[in-house]
Chains A and B, each alone.
Chain A
């Protein structure tokens, strides 16, 4: 009986998260259709969804598996440029916008998953800060490579070159042009599409966590040696998490790229990786709901603070430091713990009476 209650509790929490998200979606949609939201906010809707996907997928690596990653934006980059590339090819074949976008998102996710597997291999040999630095290095490598990558398409087929711009006939165009990134993208992403991708990722993560696989992953996080001693395959589950997390980041990248007409590789640099990590840590490690809220608020906040444009990043930095100091202060934490405990006992008393 008791066990059933736990399942319900976690499931209930997941339902609340999902329900809340749907509610926000509907409200935003109504506001948008009613013309109440400003263009500024409308333009941020797809990026917010993309960053939410980034945050929950990174939380899977950092919060659930317990491995620090400083190169998550690298996967987003792979997904963005890979997705745009495949999407552009798709446009030659099909006229359906949704189909193009769907194929692009899936392709972006798959390419990023392969990159995730590649980075997953060193993960197996390295621990802690050394692992973090490898993910950082990986993100830099991706950025540098995209920076010199030229991909063109014309009647003669595909042209790929590095460093030097490739020759493209007049009837074709450059899909990816070095430091300029992907240009001439058709803005296919819509808020609804981005939201659906987000919900799919969310369901995958929720279902994954509450399963045999999820328990094995969390066991690795809590105590690797004990996990091995009960027969859990470290290699398998670490690689699994890295590839799933990367795939989602890749999908987020494609969705993100299709929201703009031009996307430069610098959009997915070290600072972006750090930004997403900040979402995860501020939202609470392992808390998917926290990641969603933090991603949404912290993406909107700098936009809303535009009036104070000069000071906004300074304020952002100060808030970040104060929140970290506050949440890690034993006195403040005890205070919240007590509050929470009191609420809980009150609830239990109610249940008993």
Chain B
């Protein structure tokens, strides 16, 4: 039973990683950049939701929607101000800018909301379901998994069927050709950032519902792990983000349960290195061959 309970908890944690990883992977697929500030957008989303629901006593739904709205705008603004001018620059320059943006968000949050931890009230309440003896699953866990499934299905339909989704895939294949086909590349990139950031807000709310300690650096470690998950599954691939995220979550929970909490991170990263050694472009990543 303990095993089963760990699996469920792992899938739940992994679902959060997967939702964050989606933001990384979509942005990477289209803009070919590592958006290091993504983890901090999660934190902003969690703070917005916290203030709306705990301070101003708004309904949870309004809190979540507002937090998604704020993060979406934030994502678009970050992209326009900091990343768009660097479209032609080296990937390292973009990476450093993204790191700068991450520092900026963390420190701005610290100034605005101080570094005192906030206790986040779970958006789905504290209860849970006793499925069987020794198998208790909290509501947050179930909701997280359900939300992740819904998002995955939604995104798959969006990228596969809608015009915008097709434009995104076209841009990630070849920006120049996409532009020649009449696709507005800038708008497409902005929309990708918008979707990724809205997802980050959801991830932030879910993350803090499960682990209620909210500080300005809340987003950074889950951000790094989710990024790892995206690479694990093959960066640029949406199903890859799901598989990578869930696997990472399960490995982490199992390492915590059966080995040691302190070295669970080391185990997660060690597994990542081994996977990359066997499959250098991740589980579902495309093989890139250099043209000579």
Contact = CB atoms under 8 A, between A and B. Distances in A.
Interface in B222-274: 224, 227-228, 231, 235, 260, 262-263, 265-266, 269-270, 272-273
Contact of A278 (B96, B104, B111, B224): B96
Contacts of B99: 274, 277-278, 320
B97 interface: yes
B262 A122 contact: no
B97 A138 contact: no
B217 to A, nearest CB: 10
A320 to B, nearest CB: 4
B10 interface: no
A285 interface: yes
B64 to A, nearest CB: 28
Interface string B102-125: 011011101100000000000000
B86 interface: yes
B103 A125 contact: no
Contacts of A328: 85-86, 88-90, 93
B266 A144 contact: yes
A136 B224 contact: yes
Contact of A163 (B262, B265, B292): B262
B111 A311 contact: yes
A133 B271 CA distance: 12
Contact of B93 (A126, A136, A324, A330): A324
A225 B292 CA distance: 8
A68 B260 contact: no
A313 B265 CA distance: 27
Contacts of A130: 231, 235, 276, 280-282
Interface string A99-132: 0000000000000000000000010011111101
Q: Which of B82, B100, B277 has the most CB of A within 10 A?
A: B100
A314 interface: yes
B272 A133 contact: yes
Interface string A269-310: 010001001100110010000000000000000000000001
Contacts of B272: 133-134, 137
B290 interface: yes
A177 interface: no
A91 B26 CA distance: 55
Given A126-B280, A320-B100, A141 B111 contact: no
Interface of A is mostly: helix
A129 B34 contact: yes
B104 A318 contact: yes
B181 interface: no
B269 A138 contact: yes
A207 interface: no
Interface size class of A (residues with CB under 8 A): 35 or more
B263 A281 contact: no
A126 B276 contact: yes
B53 to A, nearest CB: 27
B101 interface: yes
Given A281-B92, A310-B111, A321-B97, A163 B86 contact: no
Nearest to A325: B85
Nearest to B99: A274
A324 B92 CA distance: 10
A128 B288 CA distance: 11
A316 interface: yes
A285 B96 CA distance: 12
Nearest to A145: B266
Contacts of B273: 122, 134, 137-138
B263 to A, nearest CB: 5
A144 B91 CA distance: 29
Contact of A316 (B92, B93, B96, B103): B103
Contacts of B82: 321, 325
A229 B243 CA distance: 39
B263 A144 contact: yes
A137 B269 contact: yes
A270 to B, nearest CB: 7
Contacts of A330: 88
Given A132-B34, A324-B89, 20 more contacts: A62-B92, A68-B95, A122-B276, A129-B34, A129-B91, A129-B231, A129-B235, A130-B235, A130-B280, A133-B227, A133-B228, A137-B228, A137-B269, A147-B262, A148-B260, A162-B263, A277-B96, A314-B111, A320-B96, A321-B82
6 contacts: A127-B288, A133-B228, A147-B263, A316-B103, A321-B82, A324-B86
